[in-house]
Chains A and B, each alone.
Chain A
């Protein structure tokens, strides 16, 4: 445990300790130790196959680490029931994978899993946060790519996660939608003080919106710091 955690003044929300995963005999994440601070927008950049998505999947235990572990607020996440952990660490993927039906039913999905009802007022508030006011009754099949990704973010936020993992959320979008989603993520990080980890192959995107950036190469975290320092090259 670090000194700050021992003093009880830690503002580290998530810490990975020698985290690694070997798949089919190949190390895809290798000895990654990093800290994510409460309220920050941390970017993870790297080329395709560098292990950034694999690292993100280890953070909410969608995959099992073969080495090391993750601490959420100082607690080893293997001691937290997986469903509770995933509610606390939300995730948005490259493709939104919205469930068939209307926008409201997608937003209700997470709370429903623990027997809670998301009322209309809360739905409208969430939709307002992601710039989708008035879309609650819309069928998800009739939404654009950018709109679907906004709903996907709102659906993850409906679980009231302590932090949100974003896996290439703009890579399937056109330039205009990409900029809009970027702005939305930055605004959410600034106005709501939520914690975000954004995986992106787009170094310029990381430079534009992230507070700190980690760079990965062949499964290893090779740099971590301010965007201007890490993304100089």
Chain B
């Protein structure tokens, strides 16, 4: 229907974005009726999302003519932004931004570097940036989930943690089990994505490869490769962030500093 009204790709894209946003806002309004307030978060996320992706699209147009090594700077910028965004899920935990950026850089960065070195990811900007950003974005989501779960667990079990401290336990040991459950919880989406691959969803990358005339079998295998890379980078990110963050919920004098009244 839209194609008969809008005749240029830009206007068509904006119309499609407006309809998708309207549906998202309807869900927000439905949630509001149940006293779940997502209005400001969703509105900001939608506006930010469209602005950011349009900017990235414009930058990609310029980068297509740039040398291959320039993609490193764009990926580095994405890493910094991912660290900053997912750190907000660890409210009131000191150094959360630093921990998030380090964990995502190590998780997503190492997997992207290894796979590029092995030739799985092409060094062309048109390949490295989309695949790299997918890996970074998923590592960011996993990191946010892990930190958010860890924070909730620590707040809910402050009594148990302080009891163990009072008995002479090392701080990192008192939160070990909460870090483990955070890792498990954070990896559920990545594992379910891999489990449901091809059954519940056919990812965009494979669709794009098919549309551009790639061999369907190769497109399918490559899609598996990307999802497996996402699982590996997400797992490594989650492991590292929960390992690093556990020391930051304690003071130097081994006191629990993340507490409900301060949260």
What residues of chain A have their CB less than 8 Å away from a CB belonging to chain B? 23-24, 60-64, 78, 82-84, 86-87, 90-91, 93, 95, 97, 99, 109-110, 113-114, 155-156, 159
Chain A interface: which of B55-63, B158-166, B209-217? B158-166
Query: In the complex, what distance in Å separates the CA atom of A64 from the CA atom of B253?
Result: 8
Q: Which residues of B contact A63 (CB under 8 A)?
A: 255
| Shortest Cβ gap from A209 to chain B (Å) | 22
B22 interface residue per 8 A CB criterion: no
What residues of chain B have their CB less than 8 Å away from a CB belonging to chain A? 159-160, 162-170, 173, 251, 253-256, 261-262
Q: Can you offer 27 A-B residue contacts whose CB atoms are under 8 A?
A: A60-B166, A61-B253, A62-B162, A62-B165, A62-B166, A62-B256, A64-B253, A82-B165, A82-B253, A83-B169, A86-B165, A86-B166, A87-B168, A91-B166, A93-B159, A93-B162, A93-B166, A97-B160, A99-B164, A109-B164, A109-B167, A113-B167, A113-B168, A113-B169, A113-B170, A156-B166, A159-B168
Query: In the complex, what distance in Å separates the CA atom of A83 from the CA atom of B173?
Result: 12
Q: Which residues of B contact A109 (CB under 8 A)?
A: 164, 167, 169
Q: Are B160 and A99 in contact (CB under 8 A)?
A: yes
10 other A-B residue contacts (CB within 8 Å) besides A24-B261, A64-B251, A78-B253 = A82-B165, A83-B169, A83-B254, A86-B168, A97-B159, A99-B164, A109-B167, A113-B170, A113-B173, A114-B168
Query: In the complex, what distance in Å separates the CA atom of A61 from the CA atom of B163?
Result: 13
Candidate in A24, A63, A156 with the most chain B CB atoms within 10 angstroms? A63
By beta carbon, the residue of chain A nearest B251 is: A64
Known contacts A61-B255, A64-B251; is A110 also within 8 Å of B160 by CB?
no
Q: Are A83 and B255 in contact (CB under 8 A)?
A: no
| Shortest Cβ gap from A220 to chain B (Å) | 21
Q: Are B255 and A155 in contact (CB under 8 A)?
A: no
By beta carbon, the residue of chain A nearest B162 is: A62
| Shortest Cβ gap from B99 to chain A (Å) | 23
Q: Which residues of B contact A156 (CB under 8 A)?
A: 166-167
Query: In the complex, what distance in Å separates the CA atom of A24 from the CA atom of B261?
Result: 10
Query: In the complex, what distance in Å separates the CA atom of A20 from the CA atom of B179?
Result: 33
Query: In the complex, what distance in Å separates the CA atom of A99 from the CA atom of B162?
Result: 12
Q: Are B255 and A62 in contact (CB under 8 A)?
A: yes
Q: Are B167 and A155 in contact (CB under 8 A)?
A: yes
| Shortest Cβ gap from A97 to chain B (Å) | 4
Q: Which residues of A contact B167 (CB under 8 A)?
A: 86-87, 90, 109-110, 113, 155-156, 159
